[in-house]
Amino acid sequence: MCAFESNTLPQARAYYWKKVKMNSLNKINGSALKQDIERTADFGAVDCAEGRGRTVLPGTISNGQARSYLIERMTATGLETRIDAVGNISGRWSPPSADDDASPVVAGSHLDSVPEGGIFDGPLGVYAALESVRAIKDSDLTVTQPIEVVCFTGEEGTRFADGVLGSSVAAGNLSIQEALSLSDGNQTLEQALEHIGCKGHGRLDASNWKAWFELHVEQGKRLERKDVPVGIVSSITGTTRCHITFEGESNHAGTTPMTDRQDALTAASEFIVALESTAQNIATNESESAVATVGSLSVAPGATNVVPGSVELSVDIRDVDATVIERLIDTIEQTCNRIEQERNVNTEIERGYDVVPQPMTEQLSQRLRTAAQQCDIEPISLHSGAGHDTMKIAEVTDVGMLFARSRGGYSHSPRERTDWDDCTVATQVLATAIAETAGADLKQCAVDKGR
Ligand SMILES: [Zn+2]
């Protein structure tokens, strides 16, 4: 573990709620939240010069340690814990005032990470949910619905699946058997979960939940630029990926004249630049969340003295508007047709991955907004360019999502940072929304802000 000062950046201002109670919900215990996130950061910790990182792939020993610690903390909070067949963990609080059969209000996130990922991506959402339950329990509030804290298996897509594995099972998109038989080439998910003692029974069924909330780090710079600690997510972008092949003809780089070439790489290059230009145009004039990326390319035969005969590349397109994604796909087809004519090459497009854009539930977004205002924050509304478990849960029940400000926009890196004060205030917002959704009547305290 490298030495790392965790909260050295200046704060824009102290939130008023830190000094005065704004409503009848207790203050979030920021030190307990920090302690849980820092303890979780010890599992799979990686040494690095840039900051504090962790490598916690699903079903590994470090993942097992992070899970055990969570269960320990849930039990200490008095939650009834359960692990389902694919390793999703839930901790339930159903006080005497709640109807035990009523649909629970659920919040959480994930504990797995990418290789050398950050310490906030996932754990913040899990421990913010747990800390919310602690604050609600200790407040003089009456809730009518049970509240659950959930940690999903394999959100990041680094092992066994492309991502959102546990939440896909909870949403009914993937069967338990299909999930358990997924393999990383050496071990199936079932074997890995058994190995770390995290294979339970049954299925966490999100369609029974009254609502789902997730707090996550923003992983971008929008909140920092606006100097706001909390943002309310309006929607999660859809993603479409295509695999495109350009077939030309390999030939001698010295003896093939420039007028007589079928260069697959120059054709692919023209395509990439045209796609960037179209996406920039759309992002500037129509939908600012639209993005298109060519992130991988392979050239054959890949020799310095041979005109490239074949190129394979992948395109990743995202937007909150499905029609914009379709328009970008149309452009890709038209561009490929034009390049075929002009450069005497063949192209083939294979559309392999489609996740539709997922809007959040307006009523819950509004509740989060009001909760933020009660914490003396005017939150901004923003979309999520990354996928999250919430997009799966949105298919079966109402969802609300909020972001905490990231420092420098770094994520999936040890440089990922969110100030502890921002973690605490975002958790206060989350707790307020959870309490209200669970039927608590949060009375506003009369506060004279004097400013
Ligand atoms: Zn995450």
**DSSP letters of 48-72?**
-SSS-EE---TTSHHHHHHHHHHHH
Helix locations, 289-419, DSSP H: 322-343, 362-374, 389-393
For residue 448, the CA-to-ligand 1 centroid distance in Å is 38
Asked if residue 103 has pLDDT above 80, the reply is: yes
For residue 375, the CA-to-ligand 1 centroid distance in Å is 24
Amino acid 140: pLDDT: 83
At 447, give phi and psi (nearest 5°). -125, 135
Asked if residue 348 has pLDDT above 60, the reply is: yes
Question: Which stretches of 34-141 are assigned E, i.e. beta strand?
Answer: 45-46, 53-54, 80-83, 89-93, 105-110
For residue 372, the CA-to-ligand 1 centroid distance in Å is 22
Average pLDDT, integer, range 384-408 = 96
For residue 409, the CA-to-ligand 1 centroid distance in Å is 14
pTM of the model: 0.88
Whole-number percent of the chain with pLDDT over 90: 88
CA distance 448 to 310: 70
For residue 259, the CA-to-ligand 1 centroid distance in Å is 51
For residue 330, the CA-to-ligand 1 centroid distance in Å is 31
**Cis upstream peptide for 357 (omega within 30°):** no
Characterize 330-356 residue by residue with b for buried, 16 or more Cβ atoms within 10 angstroms of its Cβ, and e for exposed.
ebbeebbeebeeebebebeeeeeeebe
Pick the closest to residue 392 from 145, 75, 165, 76 (CA basis).
165
Pick the closest to residue 79 from 148, 143, 138 (CA basis).
148
Using DSSP bridges, classify how beta strands 53-54 and 45-46 pair: parallel, antiparallel or unpaired. Answer: antiparallel
Average pLDDT, integer, range 344-359 = 93
Asked if residue 14 has pLDDT above 90, the reply is: no
Average pLDDT, integer, range 129-151 = 96
pLDDT mean across residues, the chain? 93
- The pLDDT tens digits for 311-326 are 999 999 999 999 999 9
For residue 275, the CA-to-ligand 1 centroid distance in Å is 28
Average pLDDT, integer, range 47-76 = 94
Average pLDDT, integer, range 404-409 = 95
For residue 190, the CA-to-ligand 1 centroid distance in Å is 22
Which residue type does 169 have? V
Q: Which residue has the higher pLDDT, 228 or 352?
A: 228
For residue 86, the CA-to-ligand 1 centroid distance in Å is 18
Asked if residue 242 has pLDDT above 90, the reply is: yes
Helix locations, 347-419, DSSP H: 362-374, 389-393
Whole-number percent of the chain with pLDDT over 70: 96
Which residue type does 392 have? K
Amino acid 24: pLDDT: 85
CB 211 within 8 A of CB 400: yes
For residue 320, the CA-to-ligand 1 centroid distance in Å is 18
Q: CB pairs under 8 A, 24+ apart, for 447-450?
A: 447/16, 447/20, 447/21, 447/22, 449/16, 449/20, 449/376
Asked if residue 213 has pLDDT above 70, the reply is: yes
CA atoms within 13 A on the CB side of 430: 39
Indicate the pLDDT class of residue 22, thresholds 50, 70 and 90: confident
Residues 6+ apart with CB under 8 A from 383: 233, 234, 235, 236, 237, 289, 320
CB 216 within 8 A of CB 401: yes
Average pLDDT, integer, range 237-262 = 96
CB 278 within 8 A of CB 397: no
How far is residue 44 from each of residues 1, 110, 152, 155, 309, measured CA to CA in Å? 10, 15, 18, 17, 44
For residue 156, the CA-to-ligand 1 centroid distance in Å is 7
CB 400 within 8 A of CB 368: yes
- The pLDDT tens digits for 195-210 are 999 999 999 999 999 9
For the chain, the farthest-separated pair of C-alpha atoms sits apart, in whole angstroms, at: 85
Asked if residue 4 has pLDDT above 60, the reply is: no
For residue 178, the CA-to-ligand 1 centroid distance in Å is 23
Distance of CA 256 to the CA centre of its chain: 50
Asked if residue 10 has pLDDT above 50, the reply is: no
Amino acid 170: pLDDT: 98
Amino acid 50: pLDDT: 84
Residues 6+ apart with CB under 8 A from 304: 253
* Cβ count near 58 (within 10 Å): 30
For residue 70, the CA-to-ligand 1 centroid distance in Å is 17
- Residue carrying structure tokens 């994604």: 325
Average pLDDT, integer, range 172-180 = 96
The structure tokens listed for 26 are 């207790």
Amino acid 449: pLDDT: 63
For residue 322, the CA-to-ligand 1 centroid distance in Å is 23
